[in-house]
Structure 1
Amino acid sequence: MLRSLFLYTALVIGANATLAAPIDWTAPRAGDMAKLEPVDPPVAASTTAFFDESGAEKTLADYKGKVVLLNFWATWCAPCREEMPSIQKLQAEMGGDDFEVVPIASGRNPLPAIRKFFGETGVTDLPILTDPRQKLSRDMGVLSLPVTILLDREGREIARLIGGAEWDTPEARAIIQQAIAP
């Protein structure tokens, strides 16, 4: 009896994994999303720590179980300033138990400058996260700003977009919705 229970449990778990549809990278890739490059096979994200507003260490493993839009930006970056309102809107529209935007200020970005940047760009619902020595940025292969990386629920990089983008478009939401779908 116990053996049958294990067998059926394994079958259910295996069946659920096979039901997950892969992301259709061709259909929704219009506008800025045409710059989104799939990573196949997915690559494990860095385990390097970054910091929250209070100085507490965090890692990307803290978000395991969620699809994450990881955005590397800086207060001095003009394209970052342009895209941040759309990132804010995306979090407001889709953020929750299954999805979260994780914006990380890369390099020297003092907290007062970050708060000013957020105020000027209308950001009210995103956390202040920093990578002051760019250790995480380097580990993730970020060579310029902004860079946005889509992580799956297991914390693996599945896509990357270099440069600014509008993240609250139907195309962006469609890609993220596919990543969230079981």
Structure 2
Amino acid sequence: MTTRTPLRLPSLKLIGIAVVAGIIAGAAAVYIKETGSGNGAADMAAGECKASKDIATRIKPLLKGEVAAMVATDQPQRMTSIAFKDADGKPVTLENFAGKTVLFNLWATWCVPCREEMPALNALEKELGSDRFQVVPVNIDTGDDEKPKTFLAETGVDALKLYRDDTIAVFNGLKKQGLAFGLPVTLLIDDKGCLISAMNGPAAWDSEDAKALIKGAVGI
């Protein structure tokens, strides 16, 4: 049986990793304007993301406390080309979530902070998931679906759908863009498919700080 960390009381290990993540986020701020190639490359449609600058500006005061490691971008990028698979193995891109604000999260079963924050992501989806917002966690374990499915079942994650990329192409694509340095990686994408903030490292996504950030991004 997997030991579960209380949702509102992250372990000391998680807190320590989050501190390091905050330092990494500072570095990410330098690169968050970059674009790259491959899976996850930002669409070169800056005009379509012009209005997203207002959302990125609006959420900046909300990037504090438990989500202080998130970095708002000054130049929102279209991210709809990010591709992965659903639980049935069918291809999906972020274009499929058009009209929703998405908290996109890359995780793996071998990543300790990923495992610790997953119940909090599940709680966030339970409370705020709607036709306007969705948590989209993408597992990047190689091999078949057995390990991630077992992990989600053992930790009681019942509100999140299983999405997969066993090629790790999504992570590598985001790495080329300067958006991924390690796991977990979390992108906040608005309802137009434009990146408005990003972070490397874990967060207490069931916290009041996190919920305020999501509500600010959605506009509720």
Query: Does TM-score exceed 0.5, indicating one fold?
Result: yes
RMSD: 1.9
Q: What is the CA distance between 1:32 and its match in structure 2?
A: 2.5
Contact 1:48 1:135 in 2 (8 A): no
2:197 corresponds to 1:162: no
2:132 is the counterpart of 1:94: no
Q: Which residue does the alignment assign to 1:23?
A: 58
Q: Residue 191 of structure 2 corresponds to which residue in structure 1?
A: 153
Range with greater deviation from structure 2 (125-134 or 64-73): 125-134
> 1:161: how far off?
1.5
Match of residue 126 from structure 1? 160
The amino acid that maps onto 1:83 is E
Give the alignment of 1:1-182 within 5 angstroms: 22-26=57-61, 28-45=62-79, 47-108=81-142, 110-141=144-175, 142-181=180-219
Give secondary structure in 2 for the equivalent of 1:44. coil
1:160, distance to aligned residue in structure 2 (A): 0.7
Q: Which letter maps to 1:87? A: L
8 Å contact from structure 2 (residues 59, 72) kept in 1 = no
Indicate conservation of the 8 Å contact 1:88/1:126, yes or no: yes
Task: Give 1:140's aligned amino acid.
Answer: L
Q: Secondary structure at the match of 2:77?
A: strand
Q: Which runs of 5 or more structure 1 residues have no equivalent in the other structure?
A: 1-16
**CA displacement 1:106-140 (0-9 Å, x = unmatched):** 24153111111102222011111001111122222
Deviation at 1:176? Answer: 0.8
Amino acid at match of 1:168: D
What CA distance in whole angstroms lies between the structure 2 residues aligned with 1:117 and 1:79?
14
The separation in 2 between residues aligned to 1:29 and 1:134, in whole angstroms, is 28
* TM-score computed with the length of structure 1 as normaliser: 0.83
Give, in whole Å, the separation in 2 of the partners of 1:107 and 1:39: 28
Amino acid at match of 1:144: G
Counterparts of 1:139 and 1:32 in 2: how far apart (Å)? 27
Query: C-alpha displacement at 1:54, in angstroms?
Result: 1.0
Inter-partner Cα distance in structure 1 for 2:76 and 2:209: 21
Q: 1:23 Cα shift?
A: 1.8
Report which of the two has the higher share of strand: 1
From the CA coordinates, give the structure whose radius of gyration is larger: 1
Show CA shifts across 1:77-108 (max 9, x none): 10011100000000000001100000000241
1:46 Cα deviation after fit: 5.0
SS in structure 1 of the partner of residue 99 of structure 2: coil
Worse overlay, 55-64 or 132-141: 132-141
Question: Is 2:77–2:195's contact at 8 Å kept on the other side of the alignment?
Answer: yes
Percent of residue pairs bearing the same amino acid type: 36
In structure 1, C-alpha distance between the alignment counterparts of 2:143 and 2:205, rounded to whole Å = 23
Gaps spanning 5+ residues in structure 2: where? 1-50
Distance 1:51 1:181, change over 3 A: same
